[in-house]
Structure 1
């Protein structure tokens, strides 16, 4: 969970029950995986960017992962392995070279590092069935403060 994420209630047992039942909980994004991932990362996983052209990215800011054989072998181990492999999570150049996105929907316009890798792995493992695992940042359990947060009681941003 990113430090910008705040729980909006103290009882989050239903969220954990969902994660336990489903194996993982993730949060969707707006950008497309193919436009926010550099070609080198797709190449590492032997995947074609065009297969991800219309798929929305999966945010890396919040996730719950149950330690099952499927999740460990298809998500966690490849995600960590990529992070430990030179040229996978950060394929080339300096990190700041790849952060700005202009939302032109072109392949490899920018790169989201761990988020790009997580998106590839989740779609590879679940396909479009990943939708049943997604929870919104602005759902009943947690909120992401996009702007600088000032905390006055329970209010954010």
Structure 2
């Protein structure tokens, strides 16, 4: 397993993976030494993350290999269908997965997402439009939603 640490506008991100794919991307407030050399298996991920933050990329095209239960992986696959700049409620996500009563299980799987930004769990909000739990902190969730909505035209009326 290889890893590297890069700087992002929201703190340092640690990217982990190997030839089987990217297993995790996490964000933290700690300051570790940034990686001078990016392992080849992680280079595409780092390049795409940097492009995302420069507003040059809206979707990721990476080989992913997250660890999780079958249910969590189903939730994470559904999360990847939420378009850039859009949001979805936990209830909507539960319905898409075929079980509207599974809101808590869906929220739990969302919170265990090991691939920060790449699997866009930040796009899931409460049914009333409120920001709800986010492992990286609500201020990061708000920043990401604003980042993705920056270029939407404002209505005049």
Q: Please give the range of the TM-score, normalised by the shorter of the 2 chains.
A: under 0.3
Greater relative contact order, per chain length (Cα 8 Å cut-off, separation 6+) = 1
Tell me the TM-score normalised to structure 2 length: 0.25
